[in-house]
Protein backbone atom coordinates (compact mmCIF):
# COMPACT_ATOMS: atom_id res chain seq x y z
CA UNK A 1 0.00 0.00 0.00
CA UNK A 2 1.42 3.36 -1.03
CA UNK A 3 0.66 6.18 1.35
CA UNK A 4 -1.25 9.09 -0.06
CA UNK A 5 0.11 12.51 0.92
CA UNK A 6 -2.38 14.72 2.74
CA UNK A 7 -2.71 17.99 0.83
CA UNK A 8 -3.20 21.57 1.91
CA UNK A 9 -5.69 22.80 3.19
CA UNK A 10 -6.55 19.62 5.16
CA UNK A 11 -7.28 20.39 8.81
CA UNK A 12 -4.90 17.64 10.03
CA UNK A 13 -2.05 19.82 8.74
CA UNK A 14 -3.21 22.71 10.92
CA UNK A 15 -3.41 21.17 14.38
CA UNK A 16 -0.84 20.26 16.97
CA UNK A 17 -0.09 16.54 16.69
CA UNK A 18 -0.42 14.20 19.66
CA UNK A 19 2.60 12.79 21.50
CA UNK A 20 3.30 9.11 20.91
CA UNK A 21 4.81 6.23 22.82
CA UNK A 22 6.99 3.60 21.24
CA UNK A 23 4.56 0.76 20.58
CA UNK A 24 3.45 -1.43 17.68
CA UNK A 25 1.11 1.25 16.34
CA UNK A 26 3.95 3.79 16.22
CA UNK A 27 6.33 1.27 14.62
CA UNK A 28 3.73 0.59 11.90
CA UNK A 29 3.30 4.34 11.37
CA UNK A 30 7.08 4.74 10.96
CA UNK A 31 7.14 1.98 8.31
CA UNK A 32 4.30 3.67 6.42
CA UNK A 33 6.10 7.00 6.59
CA UNK A 34 9.37 5.55 5.29
CA UNK A 35 7.53 4.05 2.31
CA UNK A 36 5.82 7.38 1.64
CA UNK A 37 9.08 9.38 1.77
CA UNK A 38 10.73 6.96 -0.62
CA UNK A 39 7.75 6.76 -3.00
CA UNK A 40 7.26 10.53 -3.16
CA UNK A 41 10.96 11.45 -3.35
CA UNK A 42 10.96 13.48 -0.16
CA UNK A 43 13.75 14.16 2.28
CA UNK A 44 11.47 14.49 5.27
CA UNK A 45 7.92 13.72 6.29
CA UNK A 46 5.77 14.37 9.33
CA UNK A 47 2.95 12.01 10.31
CA UNK A 48 0.22 14.64 9.68
CA UNK A 49 1.29 14.57 6.02
CA UNK A 50 -0.18 11.07 5.75
CA UNK A 51 -3.24 12.01 7.78
CA UNK A 52 -1.99 10.92 11.22
CA UNK A 53 -1.98 13.58 13.93
CA UNK A 54 1.01 12.02 15.71
CA UNK A 55 4.35 13.57 16.72
CA UNK A 56 6.56 11.47 14.44
CA UNK A 57 8.94 12.60 11.69
CA UNK A 58 11.07 10.64 9.26
CA UNK A 59 14.18 11.96 7.50
CA UNK A 60 15.84 10.31 4.51
CA UNK A 61 19.49 10.72 3.62
CA UNK A 62 20.51 8.52 0.73
CA UNK A 63 19.23 5.03 1.46
CA UNK A 64 19.01 5.48 5.21
CA UNK A 65 16.13 6.75 7.31
CA UNK A 66 15.94 8.36 10.72
CA UNK A 67 12.66 8.38 12.64
CA UNK A 68 12.20 10.77 15.55
CA UNK A 69 9.34 10.61 18.02
CA UNK A 70 8.08 13.63 19.93
CA UNK A 71 10.88 15.88 18.62
CA UNK A 72 11.28 19.27 20.23
CA UNK A 73 13.62 22.13 19.37
CA UNK A 74 15.63 23.17 22.41
CA UNK A 75 17.80 25.92 20.91
CA UNK A 76 18.06 27.94 17.71
CA UNK A 77 21.01 30.02 16.61
CA UNK A 78 20.52 33.71 15.92
CA UNK A 79 22.26 33.19 12.59
CA UNK A 80 19.80 32.58 9.75
CA UNK A 81 19.97 30.64 6.52
CA UNK A 82 17.66 31.22 3.56
CA UNK A 83 16.73 28.18 1.49
CA UNK A 84 14.17 27.44 -1.18
CA UNK A 85 11.62 25.17 0.49
CA UNK A 86 8.87 23.05 -0.91
CA UNK A 87 6.51 20.56 0.67
CA UNK A 88 4.86 17.33 -0.43
CA UNK A 89 1.60 18.64 1.05
CA UNK A 90 1.76 21.92 -0.94
CA UNK A 91 2.65 20.70 -4.45
CA UNK A 92 4.49 22.95 -6.84
CA UNK A 93 5.11 25.84 -4.45
CA UNK A 94 8.70 26.81 -3.67
CA UNK A 95 9.55 29.78 -1.45
CA UNK A 96 12.68 31.30 0.03
CA UNK A 97 12.32 30.78 3.77
CA UNK A 98 14.56 32.09 6.56
CA UNK A 99 15.32 29.62 9.33
CA UNK A 100 17.90 29.20 12.07
CA UNK A 101 21.21 28.00 10.63
CA UNK A 102 21.84 25.76 13.65
CA UNK A 103 19.50 24.05 16.07
CA UNK A 104 19.57 21.63 18.95
CA UNK A 105 16.63 19.25 19.31
CA UNK A 106 15.68 16.33 21.50
CA UNK A 107 13.62 13.29 20.55
CA UNK A 108 13.13 9.58 21.02
CA UNK A 109 14.52 7.25 18.34
CA UNK A 110 12.60 4.30 16.96
CA UNK A 111 14.86 2.13 19.13
CA UNK A 112 13.59 3.94 22.23
CA UNK A 113 16.75 5.94 22.89
CA UNK A 114 16.49 9.56 24.03
CA UNK A 115 18.78 11.69 21.88
CA UNK A 116 19.85 15.28 21.45
CA UNK A 117 20.53 16.24 17.85
CA UNK A 118 22.68 19.18 16.85
CA UNK A 119 22.07 20.12 13.24
CA UNK A 120 23.08 22.87 10.89
CA UNK A 121 22.40 24.01 7.35
CA UNK A 122 20.12 21.64 5.38
CA UNK A 123 19.56 19.18 8.22
CA UNK A 124 18.58 22.04 10.55
CA UNK A 125 16.17 23.38 7.92
CA UNK A 126 14.56 19.96 7.36
CA UNK A 127 14.16 19.36 11.10
CA UNK A 128 12.57 22.78 11.61
CA UNK A 129 10.25 22.23 8.62
CA UNK A 130 9.08 18.81 9.85
CA UNK A 131 8.72 19.86 13.50
CA UNK A 132 6.66 22.82 12.28
CA UNK A 133 4.27 20.28 10.70
CA UNK A 134 3.80 18.68 14.12
CA UNK A 135 2.76 22.07 15.46
CA UNK A 136 0.28 22.81 12.65
CA UNK A 137 2.61 25.26 10.90
CA UNK A 138 3.34 25.10 7.16
CA UNK A 139 6.34 26.59 5.41
CA UNK A 140 4.07 29.06 3.62
CA UNK A 141 3.27 30.49 7.06
CA UNK A 142 6.96 31.38 7.42
CA UNK A 143 6.84 33.55 4.29
CA UNK A 144 5.63 37.13 4.41
CA UNK A 145 1.91 37.72 3.92
CA UNK A 146 2.32 38.77 0.30
CA UNK A 147 4.39 35.66 -0.57
CA UNK A 148 1.91 33.46 1.28
CA UNK A 149 -1.07 34.85 -0.63
CA UNK A 150 0.75 34.45 -3.96
CA UNK A 151 1.81 30.89 -3.13
CA UNK A 152 -1.71 29.83 -2.13
CA UNK A 153 -3.14 31.32 -5.34
CA UNK A 154 -0.44 29.54 -7.36
CA UNK A 155 -1.13 26.26 -5.55
CA UNK A 156 -4.85 26.36 -6.32
CA UNK A 157 -4.27 27.55 -9.89
CA UNK A 158 -1.92 24.63 -10.60
CA UNK A 159 -4.24 22.17 -8.87
CA UNK A 160 -7.42 23.16 -10.70
CA UNK A 161 -5.91 24.24 -14.02
CA UNK A 162 -4.19 20.86 -14.29
CA UNK A 163 -7.49 19.07 -13.60
CA UNK A 164 -9.19 21.27 -16.20
CA UNK A 165 -6.49 20.53 -18.79
CA UNK A 166 -6.70 16.77 -18.14
CA UNK A 167 -10.46 16.67 -18.67
CA UNK A 168 -10.42 18.51 -22.00
Query: Are 51 and 79 spatial neighbours (Cβ–Cβ below 8 Å)?
Result: no
Q: Considering the entire predicted model, what is its pTM?
A: 0.91
Exposed, middle or buried, 157 (CB in 10 Å: 0-12/13-18/19+)?
exposed
140-152 confidence digits (pLDDT tens): 999 988 888 888 8
25-39 confidence digits (pLDDT tens): 999 999 999 999 999
Is 19 catalytic? The answer is: no
Q: Quickly count: other Cβ atoms within 10 Å of residue 18's Cβ.
A: 13
103-124 confidence digits (pLDDT tens): 999 999 999 999 999 999 999 9
Task: Give residue 79's pLDDT.
Answer: 98
Superfamily of domain 11-167: Peptide deformylase (3.90.45.10)
| Domain definitions of the chain by residue range | 11-167
Write down the catalytic residue from 3, 52, 85, 130.
130
Query: Roughly how many angstroms between the first and final C-alpha of the chain, as a whole number?
Result: 31
Distance (Å, rounded) from C-alpha 100 to C-alpha 102?
5
User: Which of the two residues, 148 and 139, has the higher pLDDT score?
Assistant: 139
26-80 confidence digits (pLDDT tens): 999 999 999 999 999 999 999 999 999 999 999 998 889 999 999 999 999 999 9
Amino acid sequence: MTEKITKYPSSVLRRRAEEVSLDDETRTLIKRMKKAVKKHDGIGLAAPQIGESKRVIVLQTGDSFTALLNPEILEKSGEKITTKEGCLSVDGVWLDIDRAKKIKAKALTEEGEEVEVEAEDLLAVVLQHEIDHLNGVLFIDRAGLQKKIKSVILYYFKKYFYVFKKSR
